[in-house]
Amino acid sequence: MRYFVFFRFVLIFLGVGLGISALQAQQRRILHQTFDVTGIDEIHLDIYGEVELVSWSGSKIMSETTVELAGAPKHVLEFFVKEKKRYDIEEILGADFYVLQSVEKEHREISYKGVTCEEKVRVRLFIPEDFEILEGGTVLRRK
């Protein structure tokens, strides 16, 4: 009988422990977008988060946004990705300018059940190699 009580206690303890750790797990998504820059000579960047610019042999700009959200279940991150478009990048094309900018430039804290979740956003922009990457978020096509 003692072994049964002990075994039952261990199973309950493990179940609760696994349940809590699942809630506190870190969710991660990697999002990709591409932008056609044919005929564009100057690009201005206004991107939220940690941004890395990488030269590559492609003809389009490709973004790779990595989002990590700690302390929330998967459906919370999915809501902000799909419904709110929190991590999307949009393009604005004017007569003499082209801008790539984050849809949401300022991110309010995300909280789930009264607990603030830690959010990390990293963006890698792959820039065609016929562009020169300048300081201050400007990219110019090489002549």
pLDDT at 72 > cutoff 80:
yes
User: 69 in a domain, yes or no?
Assistant: yes
Q: Higher-confidence residue: 88 or 96?
A: 88
User: pTM for the complete prediction?
Assistant: 0.81
User: 132 in a domain, yes or no?
Assistant: yes
User: 77 in a domain, yes or no?
Assistant: yes
User: 21 in a domain, yes or no?
Assistant: no
* Total of domains in the chain: 1
Question: pLDDT-based confidence at 14, cuts 50/70/90?
Answer: low
User: 3 in a domain, yes or no?
Assistant: no
* Residue range 107-133, pLDDT digits in tens: 999 999 999 999 999 999 999 999 999
* Residue range 22-65, pLDDT digits in tens: 445 799 999 999 999 999 999 999 999 999 999 999 999 999 99
User: 93 in a domain, yes or no?
Assistant: yes
Q: What is the pLDDT of residue 21?
A: 47
Q: Strands of the chain (E only): list them.
A: 26-36, 42-46, 50-56, 60-70, 89-93, 98-102, 110-112, 115-128, 131-133, 138-141
User: 5 in a domain, yes or no?
Assistant: no
Assess contact for 50 and 121: CB atoms under 8 A. yes
Mean pLDDT, range 80-92, rounded to an integer: 97
- Tokens for 25? 């797990």
Range of the domain at 59: 26-141
